[in-house]
Amino acid sequence: MENLQDKPTAKEDSLTKSLAVPMQRRMFMRYAGATAAVTTLLFATSCDDDDDSPTDPMAVDLGSGDTGILNYAYALEQLEAAFYAEVVAKSLSMFSQAEQQIMQDIKGHEGIHRDFLKAALGTSAIPNLEVNFSAINFNDKNSILTTARTFEDLGVAAYNGAGKLLENAGFLTLAGKIVSVEARHAAVIRDLISNGTFSDSANEKGLDPAMAPADVLAAAAPFIKTKITANNLPK
């Protein structure tokens, strides 16, 4: 498989240049400067590059190289944005006024992350994914918050694990700016569940975990109806 960094393609050049488009810069500044109290990546089974199993023609493929990693992040951001949109639409009444603002802020951040990645990917972006929230009780505050904790912790671990796989320094910088906001989300959600537990996901060295794409995909799979393949993602 050809390394995108060794021989830049028109697709990669387009992705790199997209970071400088004024409209996208404004989108990025919206989430980078958003509320400081609050602010990624996917599903299916990851296979070895030498896997001879046939590809499902109905599945969405993430692609390879940096494009695949960005689509990986885009897929998770789609999932998170869809979840918080449901929370704001269906469940705000069970939260206090302060909590409602937090949920609306996170919804806004996740929507901006999703839209920014879609714009950066351009024609290389995967299609809109169909989510599956049947296991979530949107009439139960605990169900909502524990699901939010799952998604936010997964997003942080996913970005932490995928950063080393990116070849383009500009994309790595972008991922770092997004994951710091996702970590704020994770902290405030944990504190809403149990006050004072905002940092209990960190290990004894004070570090958040990192997860490989295959593990993230497996964890997110129950919440996605669209079948996704990630056979060409770097390991």
Token pair of 150 as six digits: 């799952």
Report pLDDT digits (tens) over 32-83.
443 222 223 222 223 333 343 445 667 899 999 999 999 999 999 999 999 9
Give domain limits for the chain.
11-46+59-229
**Highest mean pLDDT pick, 57-61, 105-109, 166-170:** 105-109
User: Is pLDDT larger for residue 45 or for residue 167?
Assistant: 167
Token pair of 28 as six digits: 């990025």
Question: Rounded distance, CA 46 to CA 65, Å?
Answer: 14
**Highest mean pLDDT pick, 17-31, 44-58, 164-178:** 164-178
DSSP-based helix, strand, coil % in the chain, nearest 5: 60, 5, 40
Residue range 107-112: average pLDDT?
97
**Which residues, including other chains, have CB under 8 Å from residue 160's CB and lie 6 or more apart?**
179, 208, 209, 210, 211
Token pair of 76 as six digits: 């998770």
Asked whether 49 and 65 are in contact (CB, 8 A), the reply is no
Token pair of 7 as six digits: 């021989």
Left, alpha or beta for 122 (phi > 0: left; psi -120 to 50: alpha)?
Answer: left
User: Is pLDDT larger for residue 9 or for residue 193?
Assistant: 193
Residue range 216-229: average pLDDT?
93
Strands of 106-169 (E only): list them. none
Q: Which helix (H) or strand (E) holds 223?
A: none
